[in-house]
């Protein structure tokens, strides 16, 4: 066997092992790949890592994921299957391309940008999603004029957005931006995260008149709830994958523990988080799907289990 063929077979052996086993320790990978010296193994992994950098294109992309204990591999995506992006991600991409199109002077590049934007327009409504500043301005206008809003709102963990008529009372900011007001669908005061509002329309309909004391009480309750994460609320234990840690932590403030365990083919890490409000807490976790597993307390664990069983049988 010539040296080039042997090198190629070595790389293929490493790739196949990582694909089949999802994650492996360096010691196990060394044992089963035939590369006995860990230093030599790291060199081979380094060569694979470089396939994920310029000038390789996405359909040649290889990504290695090393967490200090085990190593995994993500293989090239199939471009003809498309990339799965959220509505807000598509909206952000469109905004970037629109800004680039305004600055571009070369006709050939403007033609390419127009082609890309035309394709994005087939995915998003032409009006798109308002940015945070637009949302705040429109909400403040409705509050000032005493008029209702119509919003398309997608709650955390819900598959589809829901149309709501809301009488806006106030905007609050604590880690995230919130709108609090009277929801005509729920017939009660409700809170809405601005980053979950997909569309917003000012109306000419007058708001329902509520006593000032009742509105102030609802706003004060929300403020206390948002700040209660530092208080005495009970803790939950959550197993989560490494990939969702950043986004999950930004929402519920995780306290990491040294505990971890293999569940199925994935490695999960145990963290603690204050519950603050059970319904809100469960709604947040649902949005992360199987990447998050609630370990305790038992009452919330049972509620989460019942929810997923309902989804599976629906």
Q: Summarize pLDDT for 10-26 with one digit per residue, the tens.
A: 777 777 777 777 678 88
What dotted CATH number matches 132-229?
2.30.30.520
Q: How high is the pLDDT of residue 231?
A: 47
Residue scoring higher pLDDT (151 or 210): 151
pLDDT band at 149 (very low <50, low <70, confident <90, very high): very high
Query: Exposed, middle or buried, 18 (CB in 10 Å: 0-12/13-18/19+)?
Result: buried
Fold of 232-313: Alpha-Beta Plaits (3.30.70)
Which among 197-201, 246-250, 292-296 has the top mean pLDDT?
292-296
pLDDT band at 43 (very low <50, low <70, confident <90, very high): confident
How many C-beta atoms surround the C-beta of residue 78 within 10 A? 9
Percent of the chain whose predicted confidence (pLDDT) is above 70: 74
> Among the listed ranges 16-25, 208-217, 283-292, which one has the minimum average pLDDT value?
16-25
- What are the tokens at 85? 């992006």
Q: How high is the pLDDT of residue 154?
A: 74
Could you tell me which CATH class the domain 3-78 is placed in?
mainly alpha
Distance CA 103, CA 86 (A): 26
Measured over the CA atoms of residue 51, residue 52, residue 53 and residue 59, the dihedral's sign is positive
pTM for this one? Answer: 0.41
Distance CA 150, CA 73 (A): 45
Mean per-residue pLDDT for 21-32?
Answer: 78
First-to-final CA distance of the chain: 57
Mean per-residue pLDDT for 238-246?
Answer: 84
Q: How high is the pLDDT of residue 237?
A: 94
Residue with tokens 């006593």: 211
- What are the tokens at 275? 């519950």
pLDDT exceeds 70 at position 166: yes
pLDDT exceeds 50 at position 67: yes
Q: How high is the pLDDT of residue 57?
A: 45
> Among the listed ranges 80-89, 101-110, 189-198, which one has the minimum average pLDDT value?
80-89
Which among 15-24, 130-139, 217-226, 233-242 has the top mean pLDDT?
233-242
Q: How high is the pLDDT of residue 125?
A: 52
> Among the listed ranges 21-30, 52-61, 133-142, 161-170, which one has the minimum average pLDDT value?
52-61
pLDDT band at 226 (very low <50, low <70, confident <90, very high): low
Which among 36-50, 94-108, 199-213, 271-285 has the top mean pLDDT?
199-213
């Amino acid at each position: 066997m010539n040296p080039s063929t042997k090198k190629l077979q070595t790389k293929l052996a490493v790739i196949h092992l990582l694909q089949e086993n999802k994650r492996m320790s360096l010691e196990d990978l060394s044992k089963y790949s035939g590369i006995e010296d860990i230093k030599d193994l790291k060199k081979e992994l380094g060569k694979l890592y470089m396939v994920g950098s310029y000038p390789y294109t996405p359909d040649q992309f290889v990504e290695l994921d090393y967490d200090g204990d085990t190593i995994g591999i993500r293989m090239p995506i199939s471009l003809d299957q498309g990339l799965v992006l959220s509505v807000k991600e598509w909206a952000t991409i469109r905004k970037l391309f629109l800004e680039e199109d305004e600055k571009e002077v070369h006709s050939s590049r403007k033609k390419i940008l127009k082609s890309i934007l035309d394709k994005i327009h087939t995915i998003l409504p032409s009006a798109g999603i308002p940015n945070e500043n637009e949302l705040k301005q429109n909400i403040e206008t409705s509050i000032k004029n005493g008029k209702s809003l119509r919003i398309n709102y997608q709650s955390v963990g819900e598959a589809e957005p829901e149309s709501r008529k809301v009488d806006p009372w106030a905007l609050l900011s604590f880690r995230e931006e919130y709108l609090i007001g009277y929801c005509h669908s729920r017939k009660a005061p409700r809170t809405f995260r601005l980053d979950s509002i997909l569309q917003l329309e000012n109306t000419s309909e007058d708001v329902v008149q509520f006593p000032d004391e009742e509105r102030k009480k609802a706003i004060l309750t929300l403020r206390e709830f948002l700040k209660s994460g530092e208080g005495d609320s009970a803790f939950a234990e959550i197993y989560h994958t490494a990939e969702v840690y950043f986004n999950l932590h930004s929402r519920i403030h995780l306290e990491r523990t040294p505990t971890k365990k293999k569940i199925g083919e994935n490695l999960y890490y145990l963290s603690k988080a204050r519950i603050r409000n059970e319904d809100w807490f469960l709604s947040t976790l649902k949005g992360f799907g199987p990447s998050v597993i609630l370990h305790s307390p038992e009452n919330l664990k049972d509620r989460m289990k019942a929810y997923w069983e309902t989804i599976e049988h629906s």
